[in-house]
Structure 1
Amino acid sequence: MPLQVSNYSWQQTKTAVFLSLPLRGVCVRDADVFCTENYLKVNFPPFLFEAFLYAPIDDESSKAKIGNDTIDFTLYKKEAVMWETLSVSGVDKEMMQRIRENSILQAQEKAKEATEAKAIAKREDQKYTLNVMMKIEEEERKKIEDMKENERRKATKELEAWKECQRKAEERKRIQKEKKLHQQEKQTEEERKKLKHKNLTKNSASRNLATKGRNSENIFFAKLKEDCIPAPRSVGNIKINFTPRVFPTALRESKVAEEEEWLHKQAEARRAMNTDIPEFCDLKEDEKNPEWLKEKGNKLFATEDYLAAINAYNLAIRLNNKIPLLYLNRAACHLKLKNLHKAIEDSSKAYRIMKLHLRLIQLTKLCKTMLRRFGM
């Protein structure tokens, strides 16, 4: 049962009430002070103090000081009037209970409003902080973009300057080369003139010697020289017919089907190598092999890199377009990429090639059967 405290002292002005409540051994840690507009309660076990105030007060601006075995209250009035008493007189238990409940509800509502206000303030602070951070990040990003743009412009200027230097160097080399070539042509022309002059001098001397020799030459030797010169050949045409066959054997001794199959294989091998095509000259030996490219495309397909696999199959098909499995694998890649028309087109090509191979095999078997039948 708590002990009701009744020995307290209070003073007032028109705007404030000063209440002094003596409590032996009171401290901030153990004292429970509850104050609303019309109700004041202090709980310090085993002591209890309650006051149903005469008029409303401003509980937010009111103060309490705990220490020296007393609690000193400074309660600010809402209306500047003098109170007759501190507590309302003639209050029964029901009214007291109703005042307590209303005070608790009022305190809860204020606490709820304070919590909501605090949460709103916190959200506003977070929003403000986020905006500030976004502005800082935007400034940093803009700064980085400006630095990149400056570096790009600097690199572009340096590249243009280097290209200009290279162009000037190439121009100087070309001019020097042209000068050197002109000098060589000039020297060659001078040497040609000297050689021509020398030949003319030599020919003149030879003609002079020949004239002297002819004057002293014997008529017999001249006649003998004329008899030793053979007569010119008669005019005629020689016609030569060449066989268009690739093989040196005669047509009656050859096997046309086997020869055509051999020629077809040679053409496929030359097409597979493609060493004369400029765009394949830079490829390695492995990259010119359709089988190697097919295996590479299969590995890329397994890693779900379908575009790279299609490129590998494209190169393999350009090297050898008679392998149906290349078209089937490329159709699978197009199917994964939802390119249905291309998948249908590649599947149709593979079907036609396989059908042609089957016909060639059947025709080869038929030819071999006929050859065995006729004993050839």
Structure 2
Amino acid sequence: MPITVKDYTWDETETSVHVVVPLKGVKASKVDIFSTDEYLKVNYPPYLFEVVLFQPVDDSKGTAQVGDGTITFNLQKKEPGLWSRLISLNSEDKDLMKSKRQAAIDATHKKAQQEKQRQQVEKQERDRMALKEQMRLENEERQRIEEVKEAERQKATEDLEKWKTQQLAAEKEREETNKQNVDIFDDEATDAEPLPAVRKHPGSTDKTQTEVKGQPPPRSSGNIQVTFTPRIFPTPLRESKVQAEEEWLKKQAEARRVVDIDDPDLTEEEKNPVWLKDKGDGFFKSGNYLAAVNAYNLAVRLDSKLHAVYSNRATCHLKLRNFIKCIEDCSKALELLTPPVDANAKSRLRAHVKRGTAFCELELYVEGLQDYEAALKLDPTNVQLISDAEKIRATIQSTVE
């Protein structure tokens, strides 16, 4: 049963009330203070000070100071005037005190909840503004880079056109030279039989002149144009994988169909899932994993078929130790990476490794080993994967024993 403190003092002015409560030798660190507009409570076992005020005060402007063995309350009255007493006229009513106490506690909890919600809204707004500012800076940098690239492309195009002009001029000069050589040779062949440079023996035949007369003219130079059939996949075409590759290309075409979201707060760039993916990649490289996840989340809203977004978001969740979400994103990425073709082998390998790591962090070593074995089928010579798989097997065996 607490001991009620009654030897407190108080005084007032037209606008304020001052209450001094003695601590009676109790350390200040063990004092619990609770106050609202109509209720004051100081709990420092075994003592208890509790009053319902005569009139309400402005709790947001009140202060409580602990020091020199006392607690001093400086309270601001809501309405100016003299009270002539500190405690409410109905303070002896226990039911009233109980209801006032509960109302004060509820009001305090509600105020704390409202303050927490306000802080959350402010934090979300700050994060949003920071993200937009970061995107703006990245966009300016991207535009600058594009301008530099465009200037380089124009210079390269001009150099190429200049080189082509030089080549055409050189080609034309070679053709003129060849034509002159052919004309000279034809003239010599159609003239009357010239005097031989070497006297012939009687009975010999003019074999040399016959060969010269039958020799074809020299060929003119030229270029042979070879056109190759365009191919998206970097590997040679295999008839056995044509159907799988066509299905993969069809899924990629579906993934490029962007969902139109009618949100006036989003810019045109923020409605581009590929741009958002690149933005998330930039945040990840800088170590801002939460911002990367936010960018990937918006990209998924716009296009739920991009396997790279799920895979990269899984990496962020793995860094943030959100292992369940990492497993979900890896599973979704593997679902989109079907059918299995050579073009998506590396993506499937990374997804299996990340999901296996998340399983092991959750101590689900059997499931983790299955993913590592699937990764080893894609890259059987990877030394690191072989070593990690052996460690997981050893962990499973030690657990069973």
| TM-score, length basis structure 2 | 0.45
Question: For the pair shown, which has the larger CA radius of gyration, 1 or 2?
Answer: 1
| TM-score, length basis structure 1 | 0.48
